[in-house]
Structure 1
Amino acid sequence: MILGIPKRTIIIVAVLAGIGLIYVMGANERPSDAESGGGSADCRVRVTADVLNVRAGPGTDTTIVGKFQQDAEAEAEPVVQEGFRKLAEGRWAAEEFLRPVDGANCG
């Protein structure tokens, strides 16, 4: 026992934390909700920044929930607030680093 906690419990918590960390770190390699149909079918955008943070809300003070690499494409909503475009529920990215792809209707 360590600090009154059984070793088995500590090991389980450590493994779960490791899996969670791997999941979060690999977010830019998995298709996002925005890429898999979370956004509007008419609005599709391309990332112009080297790496673009996807945030939980419209603002730099909100949690980073994913990342896009340069030239990645994603479906988006025609909603822009405080300089951030809504990609899907709980997923926002800075509008200045997103460009609509040809033929997209992003409002």
Structure 2
Amino acid sequence: MFLGIPKRALIIVAVLAGIGLIYVMGTDKQSPEGAEGGGSSGCRVTVTADVLNVRAAPDAGSEIVGKFNQNAETDAQVEVQNGFRKLADDKWASTDYLQPVSGTNC
């Protein structure tokens, strides 16, 4: 016993606190459905469409390589071609449905 608290209870509380800390620290690093952005430009965008297709090239007919749900945030590049913003290598999304996050360099 430590301060009148059984050791077993202290160990359980410590383990749960550690798991909680790991969970909280890891949630910011998750990306939706494999469509993570490039991130090196300081540009970050929010999706305004219900579902936004991420394409392999800056063309509406290009292969869909990922999707974002509404209000998802992702890193992006400043490069825009043909109405599509570059998110990462071979990942482009329509600028019509992306809103730059305030305070970022887009």
Matched, 1:94 2:94: yes
- Given residue 99 of structure 2, which amino acid in structure 1 is its aligned partner? R
Map of 1:71 onto structure 2: 71
* Corresponding position of 2:55: 55
Alignment partners' CA distance in 2, 1:30 and 1:65: 9
**Which residue identity lines up with residue 43 of structure 1 in the other structure?**
C
Deviation at 1:33, TM superposition (A): 2.9
Whether the 8 Å contact between 2:45 and 2:101 is mirrored in structure 1 is yes
Gaps of 5+ in 1: 1-27
Shift of 1:102: 1.0
Q: How does the TM-score come out when normalised to structure 1?
A: 0.66
Match of 1:33 among 28, 33, 36: 36
* Distance in 2 (alpha carbons) for counterparts of 1:47 and 1:85: 12
Q: How many residues align?
A: 76
User: Is contact 1:45-1:74 (8 Å) kept?
Assistant: yes
Tell whether the 8 Å contact from 2:33 to 2:68 is kept in structure 1 after alignment: no
Q: CA deviation at 1:98?
A: 0.3
